[in-house]
Chains A and B, each alone.
Chain A
């Protein structure tokens, strides 16, 4: 009695896993077609400089101007990365642009809600800066964009 149900459930799970694999594969292929390896290379460049900057800032550097310079070091690399992304958006077709728009349409309000909640929680209980300071919390913003991208892609598959 239970076996056909389990069998159906397993089939459904396999189909969902295949769809997810196609989805991820399709997204990678689409990104590769639009950007080539530029986005990856510039993203890795920015991430490397960011990690270097973070590492250096954790050392004891007494000079405040030097610390500020190190803190600002990843910014041009990140702008370069964003510029590549924006150039890619202009090369996308209408559906892909709509998907990007829907992803941002999800990510922006979700980020506002998230930051507002963090702010209020911080007032309520004083959140630990080791876990909830800006240099951890910003990672949620690209994550929300990717959640939005995933949702939007699924809608049109």
Chain B
């Protein structure tokens, strides 16, 4: 699953630790989501969406959907 977490975080000038603290998760979790090694649970994805004031679909995209959009 692709995501825009790193971009959204950078726009706000937050470090991974800042974001981790806001979401009550570890920095490793943020890093793993950003590097797309880990897909967050639905509650965490919803929390991320709420934090950035965006829908989950605007932040997370299935790879095939991202490919379709690129073509």
Q: Which of A94, A96, A155 contacts B44 (CB 8 A)?
A: A94
Chain B residues whose CB sits within 8 angstroms of the CB of A95 once the complex forms? 25-26, 28-29, 32, 38
A93-B25 Cα distance, complex, nearest whole Å: 6
Closest to B44 in A: A94
Closest to A27 in B: B28
Q: From residue A19, how far is it (CB to closest CB) to chain B in Å?
A: 13
Q: Which of A94, A156, A157 contacts B25 (CB 8 A)?
A: A94
Task: Please tell me the size bucket of the interface on A.
Answer: 10 to 19
A93-B41 Cα distance, complex, nearest whole Å: 11
A157-B38 Cα distance, complex, nearest whole Å: 10
The reply to whether the CB of B40 lies closer than 8 angstroms to some CB of chain A is: yes
Please determine whether A96 and B26 come into contact, CB atoms closer than 8 angstroms.
Answer: yes
Chain B residues whose CB sits within 8 angstroms of the CB of A119 once the complex forms? none
Q: Which of B25, B31, B37 contacts A155 (CB 8 A)?
A: B37
Nearest 5 interchain pairs by C-beta: A95-B29, A93-B25, A156-B32, A156-B37, A94-B41
Interface residues of B (CB under 8 A from A): 24-26, 28-29, 31-32, 37-38, 40-41, 44
- 24 residue pairs of the A-B complex, CB under 8 angstroms, read A26-B28, A30-B28, A33-B26, A93-B25, A93-B26, A93-B29, A94-B25, A94-B40, A94-B41, A94-B44, A95-B26, A95-B28, A95-B29, A95-B32, A95-B38, A96-B26, A96-B29, A98-B38, A155-B37, A156-B32, A156-B37, A156-B38, A157-B28, A157-B31
